[in-house]
């Protein structure tokens, strides 16, 4: 049986066992797969998370930099979490955007232009684990579940994972949204 709490502990331990060099290499592979399988087109907005690198999260900076350099007609968006109501506000993220770390070490944009969910075409969704049905395990606060529910039906929800899927997450809730695909360093899984 694969329960979310158990998967969270397992994957966090697996992630802590990786070196920064291994995570960087896997992050580069994920970036390569993203641009091969899901290259954005002009006018789209790609939402990504900014990694907490000291936590061993996937480094999304290679994707962000390539979007800025090679896809100038594509907007990049990032979020700021509201810990009061577990919501997220979204902002345009450019090379000129200043960042400031919050008390949890998460980089956040300062004085950036707000963006509504309706403008977001693709979301790179952080996760700890996922299953073959497209369900994900996050950190457990539900920020992304609330955010993904607000997106237009046409928006792509792409998980990114350092590790392959488990067969099935057994304690999926009715409000848990499925992903459209998950990109790992080794393979892209579509649902």
pLDDT in tens, 92-113: 999 999 999 888 788 999 999 9
> What would the two tokens of residue 73 be?
């007609």
Q: Which residue has the higher pLDDT, 75 or 86?
A: 75
Report whether pLDDT(141) > 80. Answer: no
Mean pLDDT (the chain, rounded): 94
Domain with 157, as residue range(s), is 4-190
Q: In the chain, which ranges are continuous DSSP H helix?
A: 4-16, 20-37, 61-70, 143-149
Q: What percent of the chain clears pLDDT 90, i.e. is strictly above it? A: 81
The rounded distance, in Å, linking the Cα atoms of 103 and 129 is 25
Indicate which CATH number applies to the domain containing 136. 3.40.50.10420
- Quickly state the pLDDT bin for 83 (edges 50, 70, 90): confident
Report whether pLDDT(176) > 80. Answer: no
The rounded distance, in Å, linking the Cα atoms of 156 and 181 is 8
Angle of CA points 184, 106, 122, to nearest 5°: 45
Please tell me whether the overall predicted TM-score, pTM, comes out greater than 0.85 for this model. Answer: yes
Total domains in the fold of the chain: 1
DSSP 42-67: TT-EEE-PPP-GGGT----HHHHHHH
- Quickly state the pLDDT bin for 174 (edges 50, 70, 90): confident
Sequence-separated (6 or more) residues with CB below 8 Å from residue 49: 57, 60, 78, 79, 124, 125, 126
Averaged over 56-85, what is the pLDDT?
95
What pLDDT is recorded for position 1? 67
The rounded distance, in Å, linking the Cα atoms of 65 and 13 is 29
Q: Please give the distance of CA 129 from its chain centroid, rounded to a whole number.
A: 12
């Amino acid at each position: 049986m694969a329960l979310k709490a158990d998967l969270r502990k397992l994957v966090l331990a697996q992630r802590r066992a990786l070196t920064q060099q291994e995570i960087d290499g896997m992050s580069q592979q994920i970036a390569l797969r993203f641009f091969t399988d899901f290259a954005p087109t002009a006018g789209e907005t790609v939402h990504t998370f900014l990694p907490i690198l000291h936590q061993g999260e996937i480094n999304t900076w290679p994707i962000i930099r390539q979007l800025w350099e090679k896809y100038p007609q594509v907007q990049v968006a990032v979020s700021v979490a509201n810990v009061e109501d577990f919501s997220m506000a979204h902002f345009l993220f450019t090379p000129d955007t200043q960042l400031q770390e919050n008390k949890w070490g998460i980089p956040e944009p300062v004085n950036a232009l707000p963006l509504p969910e309706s403008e977001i075409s693709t979301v790179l969704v952080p996760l700890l684990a996922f299953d073959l049905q497209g369900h994900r395990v996050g950190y457990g606060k539900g920020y992304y579940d609330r955010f993904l529910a607000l997106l237009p039906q046409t928006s792509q929800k792409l998980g990114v994972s350092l590790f392959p899927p488990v067969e099935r997450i057994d304690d999926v809730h009715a409000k848990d949204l499925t992903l459209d695909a998950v990109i790992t360093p080794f393979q892209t899984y579509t649902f």
